[in-house]
Chains A and B, each alone.
Chain A
Amino acid sequence: MKCRKCPARAVLRMPRHNTAFCSVCLTEFVRSQVQKAIKSQNMFSPNDRILVAVSGGKDSLTLWEILLKLGYRADALYVDQGIGTYSQGSREKVEQFTEQIAKPCGATLTIHNVEEEEGASIPDLANLVRRPTCSTCGTIKRYQFNQAAIQGGYDVMATGHNLDDEAARLLGNVLHWQEEYLQKQSPTLPASMEGFAKKVKPLYRLTEREIAAYAVINRIDYMVEECPMSKGAKMLVYKDVLNRLEAESPGTKHTFYWQFLAKQEKAQATHGSMTETDQTTLKPCTICSQPTSTGMCSYCKMVARANAPAQ
Chain B
Amino acid sequence: MMKPFMKIHLSHPTRDIEIEGPKHVRDVFQELQLIPEGYLVIRGQDLVTEDELLADSDVIEIRPVISGGSERRP
Contact = CB atoms under 8 A, between A and B. Distances in A.
A1 B51 contact: yes
Contacts of B72: 135, 138, 169, 181
Given A11-B47, A199-B74, A216 B66 contact: no
Main secondary structure of the interface of B (DSSP, over half): loop
A12 interface: yes
B38 interface: yes
A209 interface: yes
Given A213-B47, A230-B69, 6 more contacts: A134-B70, A141-B71, A168-B68, A230-B67, A243-B37, A247-B35
A236 B73 contact: no
A161 B73 CA distance: 10
Contacts of A243: 35, 37-38, 66
Given A161-B74, A243-B38, A233 B69 contact: yes
Contact of A244 (B35, B48, B65): B35
Contacts of B36: 247
A229 interface: yes
Contacts of B47: 11-12, 23, 213, 216-217
Using C-beta atoms within 8 Å of the partner chain, give the interface range for chain B: 20 to 34
Contact of B69 (A59, A207, A235, A246): A235
A226 interface: yes
Contacts of A165: 68
Interface of B: 11-12, 14, 35-40, 42, 45-52, 63-74
Interface string A169-202: 1000000000001001000000000000001010
Interface string A244-258: 101100000000000
Nearest to A20: B49
27 contacts: A12-B47, A13-B50, A23-B47, A132-B70, A134-B70, A135-B72, A138-B73, A141-B71, A161-B74, A164-B68, A165-B68, A181-B72, A209-B38, A211-B65, A213-B40, A216-B42, A216-B63, A224-B63, A226-B12, A230-B68, A230-B70, A234-B70, A236-B66, A236-B68, A239-B68, A246-B37, A247-B35
Interface of A: 1, 10-13, 20, 23, 57-59, 132, 134-135, 137-138, 141-142, 159, 161, 164-165, 168-169, 181, 184, 199, 201, 207-209, 211-213, 216-217, 224-227, 229-230, 233-236, 239-240, 243-244, 246-247
Contacts of A240: 38, 66
Contact of B49 (A11, A141, A230): A11
B68 to A, nearest CB: 4
Contacts of A141: 71
A208 B68 CA distance: 11
The 5 closest A-B CB pairs, nearest first, are: A233-B70, A138-B71, A11-B47, A212-B65, A230-B69
B44 to A, nearest CB: 11
